[in-house]
Amino acid sequence: METTRNEALEAWMREHKYSANSLAKAVNAGLEALTGKPGTYDGRHIREWRAGRVRWPNTATRKVLADLSGRSPVDLGFVPRSRNSRTAVPQEDPMHRRTLVTGTVSIAVAAAAPGAVSTRKVGMSDVARLQEKFSAVIASDHKRGGQRDIEQRAAGLADTALNLQNSGSATQRVRSSLYATAASFRSSAMWAAIDGRRFKDAVTHMREAQALAELSGDQAIKFRIWSHAGTLYRHMGRPADARAANDVARNLHITRRDPMFASLGLARHMAIQGAAHEQRNLPRTFDHAREAMDRADPVASRPVWLLAFYDEAELHSLALSAYLAAGDWATAEYHAHRCLAALRPYMERSRAITTSRLAQAQLAQGDVDTATDTAMTVKAEAATQHPRVSRMLQEFGAALRAMAPGSSSAITWTEHTAAWRTHP
């Protein structure tokens, strides 16, 4: 039988900037979320789909593709095993519709088949299984943050949470929890995009996360999303917008109920002050953030995303960012050392970022040899694969060559970075 290229799938992949390999990874992540077992697709399988040699993937794969794209398998160009191929769409393949929420933000919501009656009851156990996946996303972020596959996995799991809304009956508590879980995944996709400096994608994730958070009514996830929005705008060089977004987070009543949230809001406010060159305000804001942290109940129940990263090390990390942006190199170096001393062992991404900033602070003070030695301790994997770390070390190298051209440190650094080109 003659095959016809799947032009609809090719067009969708081009529109959403998927390569064959990246789509395979996204489908594998969706299959793991759906079935509990990782998928085994690779780029070759996706090319088979595009070429039309695979006309109708299996049931689970079709469901994942529908969740991922917001389109039915037929709309993606696949042909059911039926003579009436354009009308025979199996009821088991949910079609996601786009619906406007809060005026301008659209979120993917799975629509149940017309007239279908579901007897399944969705419960908190379903939510708990998704939240276990969320913990894995958080762990991946701390190990190798900023990667596109983390972003895609988190976004796919957000769609999975939404799809559960229409898979059966549920109480209002369960529905709110599902929206909160979807918002959590979407905010992790947003953070991965921020960390990878894919700001346009981050804005898209932010808008959908904000809408989902409103549907959930969950104060903690609202705080996370607006606080991340402040960080996004700070990295985009828009301190006024960063302050406004972070203020939304800081004004939520959860910051009055739990001083730990108030402390994080203040710490990120400090980083925004540094970006705005408000150096004289930094010591007071740091003290207020630390005082709030000291008041917080150490055994209080908090979201996994907060427990996983916010502590004394992160407070010093944000102070380091603030003083580095404000040009106070000596104080920035002090906070870098305090951060590195307090970092938990699994915070590999944070260690690479802090070490890169420490090298910048040391170089700015004229300590060329020490700064070079510090920069060389950043692992090659982070230096070559993490966009923020790569950019900081490129800036470090340019500043080193400008400050000490032809020096032994500059030569050593050039030779050291040349070896990265062979790193897999």
The predicted structure's pLDDT at residue 91:
35
Q: CA 169, 39, 73: angle at the middle one, nearest 5?
A: 60
Which DSSP symbol is given to 92?
T
Residue 168 pLDDT class (50, 70, 90 cuts):
confident
Q: Kindly list the domain boundaries of the chain, sorted by start residue.
A: 7-82, 99-217
Share the mean pLDDT of the chain.
Answer: 84
User: Which residues fall within 8 angstroms of residue 15, CB to CB, at 6 or more apart?
Assistant: none
The predicted structure's pLDDT at residue 232:
95
Tokens 């828009």 belong to 238
Q: At what angle do helices 348-364 and 368-375 cross, to 10 degrees?
A: 170
pLDDT tops 70 at residue 118: no
Distance (Å, whole) CA 261 – CA 38:
35
pLDDT tops 80 at residue 2: no
DSSP 267-334: HHHHHHHHHTT-GGGHHHHHHHHHHHHHHS-TT----HHHHHH-SHHHHHHHHHHHHHHHT-HHHHHH
Percent of the chain with pLDDT over 70: 87
Token readout for 53 is 């040699």
pLDDT in tens, 337-365: 999 999 998 888 899 999 999 999 999 99
> When comparing pLDDT for 393 and 111, which is higher?
393
Which DSSP symbol is given to 77?
T
Which DSSP symbol is given to 135?
H
Residue 256 pLDDT class (50, 70, 90 cuts):
very high
The predicted structure's pLDDT at residue 100:
29
The mean pLDDT value for 139-158 works out to: 79
Which DSSP symbol is given to 82?
S
Question: Mean pLDDT: which of 113-117, 122-126, 153-157, 272-276 is highest?
Answer: 272-276
The mean pLDDT value for 5-15 works out to: 87
pLDDT in tens, 318-329: 999 999 999 999
The predicted structure's pLDDT at residue 80:
80
The predicted structure's pLDDT at residue 423:
53
Residue 144 pLDDT class (50, 70, 90 cuts):
low
The predicted structure's pLDDT at residue 79:
86
Residue 248 pLDDT class (50, 70, 90 cuts):
very high
